[in-house]
Chain A
């Protein structure tokens, strides 16, 4: 009886937030599905026209591939940058940590302003170095997008890593050094097992964000190929009715990819949980 009352109390406390999320995301999901099957939104019979048009569109295929490529490049480079920085900055004081994490609270749209000022042709990097070896703004390989995300998300992952690399890890590292373990073995057997779980969980958040956001590709990405989000935005601007339906299809697929990716990573991460 007491247990039931406790459960009821917990349920009542959880209800407002879960209900709000279920209603809002339920509405978003059904709204997107409805748009994708009923482009005119007039309640006619459902049609697969938007799905067919999107899935057979070559520029959609290119956008999907480019999105996956940019997501992989941005996530891996952010994770590697965070890992390298965490290794070098793990014993530093507040000042270095504050400097290194300074891009974290800056909104993405502002980071793109900074990126264009530095990396655009004729930008500050160009002026200081007398020319850049590669195009970083509007390049079709997504190098500029990757660099911007690494600059913004690398410090975010760094913060997560530094949080777990506290006194305990430092003590175990010292113990490994006393026992004659090389720097590589200290990293492999002491640091890596401590940081891999937050690194993977943080990387899921980064990958999901890169998959769906479009401030960065809009400002520094190429005009072709699109990412899935810029493809959706372009579709709504070219044709308001049919375009919205195609945008909904592209975004449903981006959301599905994001959740699928997270589930795969979580399966991997679960094996590491101590």
Chain B
């Protein structure tokens, strides 16, 4: 039985690998200085893509802007979303109307939201600024943060907090020693997703911060004009995302 199962398992892994394999082209293309048809593999390897991305493509500025915006958006979303997640974590507050209100933004096209916000942001003087773009990204990020963080705030967490209170733990002690460790997995996932959603935003950024280079906005025009630069910028974009994923997974493992 297990022998018959083994080839099938192998076939399943091969089928699944067909989805991962095409992504490897990003790594090859980023270092392919010469790769013209009909060559199946590059004929010359080098770092021209990265050099061009940094020399002409504002890669350093885009990287800094994207990182600042994603970190600010994540921090804002966690601070604003925490109390709502806490309420939604308890059964009594889980009313459909609230859930719909929180989830509805996921249905509105980001470019539509950005275009509507752009008018106000220009008047307020925050269009094309880190703060403005982070605020606009909040529309896409906050729903995910609230819904995921809410999964961590179970009744067991409230009970543990009550026990800590009974033993005389203050607010800060309860937060540091009970609440945060108890919801570490949800917190890490919510923070990770917040960072990645903001990091990958294109439509909203273009609408409210088109003049502020971020990685996705800088990258897109290169897809048609210089595939190697596009691939090099892609690796820059995927690198911190993988790093954040690794940190979040390590943090998540420490949960109670």
Min CB distance A70 to B, Å, is 14
On whether the beta carbons of A102 and B111 are closer than 8 Å, the reply is no
> A44 on the interface (CB 8 Å rule)?
no
> B13 on the interface (CB 8 Å rule)?
yes
On whether the beta carbons of A31 and B23 are closer than 8 Å, the reply is no
> B237 on the interface (CB 8 Å rule)?
yes
A3-34: which have CB < 8 Å to B?
Answer: 6, 10, 12-18, 20-22, 24-25, 27-34
Q: What string of 1s and 0s marks CB contacts (under 8 Å) between A216-254 and chain B? A: 001100000000010011000000000010011001101
Question: CA–CA, A12 to B86, complex, Å?
Answer: 11
A18 touches which one: B12, B26, B84, B223 (CB < 8 A)? B84
Tell me which of A29, A124, A211, A251 has the highest count of chain B C-beta atoms within 10 A of its own C-beta: A251
Question: CA–CA, A137 to B202, complex, Å?
Answer: 21
On whether the beta carbons of A28 and B109 are closer than 8 Å, the reply is no
Question: CA–CA, A14 to B112, complex, Å?
Answer: 25
On whether the beta carbons of A99 and B19 are closer than 8 Å, the reply is yes
B: interface residue count bin: 35 or more
* B107 neighbours in A (Cβ, 8 Å): 204-205, 208, 255, 258-259, 262
For the complex, would chain A's binding face be called helix, strand, loop or mixed by DSSP majority?
A: helix
On whether the beta carbons of A116 and B22 are closer than 8 Å, the reply is no
On whether the beta carbons of B12 and A96 are closer than 8 Å, the reply is yes
> A105 on the interface (CB 8 Å rule)?
yes
On whether the beta carbons of B109 and A127 are closer than 8 Å, the reply is no
* A100 neighbours in B (Cβ, 8 Å): 15-16, 19-20
* A255 neighbours in B (Cβ, 8 Å): 107-109, 112
* B29 neighbours in A (Cβ, 8 Å): 113, 117
Question: CA–CA, A204 to B107, complex, Å?
Answer: 8
> B220 on the interface (CB 8 Å rule)?
yes
On whether the beta carbons of B142 and A17 are closer than 8 Å, the reply is yes
Contact A20/B117 with A13-B84, A219-B220 known, Cβ cut-off 8 Å: no
Question: CA–CA, A161 to B39, complex, Å?
Answer: 40
> A139 on the interface (CB 8 Å rule)?
no
On whether the beta carbons of B223 and A219 are closer than 8 Å, the reply is yes
* A198 neighbours in B (Cβ, 8 Å): none
B206 (CB) vs chain A CBs: closest residue: A233
Contact A25/B84 with A117-B25, A208-B107 known, Cβ cut-off 8 Å: no
* B238 neighbours in A (Cβ, 8 Å): 106-107, 110
* A218 neighbours in B (Cβ, 8 Å): 220
On whether the beta carbons of A215 and B111 are closer than 8 Å, the reply is no
Min CB distance A72 to B, Å, is 17
A16 touches which one: B80, B106, B206 (CB < 8 A)? B80
Question: CA–CA, A21 to B84, complex, Å?
Answer: 12
Question: CA–CA, A122 to B38, complex, Å?
Answer: 7
> B116 on the interface (CB 8 Å rule)?
yes
> B69 on the interface (CB 8 Å rule)?
no
> B135 on the interface (CB 8 Å rule)?
yes
On whether the beta carbons of B200 and A109 are closer than 8 Å, the reply is yes
Question: CA–CA, A127 to B98, complex, Å?
Answer: 53
Stretch at the interface among B162-170, B171-179, B226-234: B226-234
> B118 on the interface (CB 8 Å rule)?
yes
Question: CA–CA, A106 to B251, complex, Å?
Answer: 21
> B252 on the interface (CB 8 Å rule)?
no
On whether the beta carbons of B109 and A211 are closer than 8 Å, the reply is yes
The 10 A-B pairs with the shortest beta carbon distances in the complex, nearest first, are A212-B109, A28-B116, A107-B200, A17-B84, A32-B116, A251-B112, A99-B16, A13-B87, A31-B116, A100-B16
Q: Other CB < 8 Å A-B pairs besides A25-B104, A31-B118, A232-B115, 18 of them?
A: A10-B90, A10-B92, A17-B142, A17-B146, A21-B101, A21-B105, A21-B143, A96-B15, A101-B19, A103-B19, A107-B199, A109-B219, A113-B227, A124-B40, A126-B37, A155-B19, A213-B109, A252-B112
Q: Which B residues fall within an 8 A CB radius of A?
A: 9, 12-13, 15-17, 19-20, 22-23, 25-26, 29, 37-40, 80-81, 83-88, 90, 92-93, 98, 101-102, 104-120, 135-136, 138-139, 142-143, 146, 196, 199-200, 202-203, 206, 216, 219-220, 223-224, 227, 230-231, 234, 237-238, 241, 245
